[in-house]
Amino acid sequence: MTFDALLHQVLAGLATGGIYASLALALVMIYQATHLVNFAQGELAMFATYMAWDLINRGMPYWAAFFITIVLAFVLGVLIERIIVRPVENAPVLAVVVVFIALLVILNSVTGWIYTYTIKTFPSPFPSEIGVGVYMSPHEVGAIGVTLIVLTLLYAFFRFTPLGLAMRAAAQNPDSARLVGIRVGWMLALGWGLAAAIGSVAGMMVAPIVYLDPNMMGGILLYAFAAALVGGVDNPAGAVFGGFLVGVLENVLGAFVIGNELKLAVALVIIIGVLVVKPSGFFGKVHVTRV
């Protein structure tokens, strides 16, 4: 193993890590507000990526399709929360989990039904010829750039806008949030919309690498779970850190230690390892309950 090869794998890991980080962030956003893990987050992203593919195929320029897809994904997320998730708001956890899994299966098969299960190529908006450097492909550099822009915008939104503050308040303490006049139900729907929009960016960035097919997000969602758990499932910054860490670990271990076939096992080992050793993750809060 030369230093060059290692560096190459680390950088490639950062590129996919950014994608895991985005999806992990989407998971954490929903988790913070509802204490539920949205198992359909990956399929939502996959479905949005198909919409982008459809738009591009109809002759739309890439970036126009990119931004329209983000908006469509946002609307889809809001609608799903209002129509499907809201009615089970007060249902037992298991019932909600079943709804999420049903959503996963439905989105997966509807996509297969509309677009077939044939694997498709998805374009990258970044130049294909190598020119940026020998260590990273232009798409990898571009994907990291897009991820960082998304993360920065999100941070600014939650940190500096009244609406972002209201969303954080609604997630933390719904009763108090109502008492200052925040419409908590709509904040949840907005959260779903934002999570779906972030997911759609992740989908469009990863599709040129893994190709487009209805099952493309299965593995990626698993990495995102691992990332969210490593960072602490209630900590957005931790989820982002976890995403990059899992991306690098997956690439380096896959290339030099266990081989590409077992890469997905890395995610599973991380998930189980974190749950056994430190369930609150690196940055999560330890919850203590008196009984």
Partner 1 sequence: MALLSARDLHAQYGLTRVLHGISFSMEKGTITTLLGANGAGKTTTLRALCGMVRTQGEISFDGQRIDGRATEDIVRLGIAHVPDGRGTFVNLSTEENLRLGAYVRKDRENVEADLERVFGYFPRLKERRAQQAGTLSGGEQQMLAVSRALMLRPKLMLLDEPSFGLAPLIVRELFGILRSVNEKEHVSMLVVEQNAAMALDLADHAYLIETGRVVLSGTADEIKNNDSVRRSYLGY
Residues lying near partner 1 in the complex (CB under 8 A): 162, 165-166, 168-169, 172-173, 175-184
Nearer to partner 1, 129 or 175 (CB): 175
Nearer to partner 1, 124 or 235 (CB): 235
Task: Give the shortest CB-235-to-partner 1 separation in angstroms.
Answer: 11
Q: What is the residue-wise DSSP string for 183-228? A: -HHHHHHHHHHHHHHHHHHHHHHHHHHH-B-TTTHHHHHHHHHHHH
Report which of 155, 136, 121, 131 is spatially closest to residue 16, judged by C-alpha positions.
136
Task: Give the shortest CB-82-to-partner 1 separation in angstroms.
Answer: 17
Which residue matches tokens 């995102």?
224
**What is the 8-class DSSP label of residue 287?**
P
- Measured distance CA(99)–CA(67) in Å, rounded: 29
CB 240 within 8 A of CB 19: no
Task: Give the shortest CB-183-to-partner 1 separation in angstroms.
Answer: 5
- Measured distance CA(112)–CA(215) in Å, rounded: 9
- Measured distance CA(291)–CA(280) in Å, rounded: 19
Task: Give the shortest CB-173-to-partner 1 separation in angstroms.
Answer: 5
Amino acid of residue 245? L
Task: Give the shortest CB-230-to-partner 1 separation in angstroms.
Answer: 21
Task: Give the shortest CB-177-to-partner 1 separation in angstroms.
Answer: 8
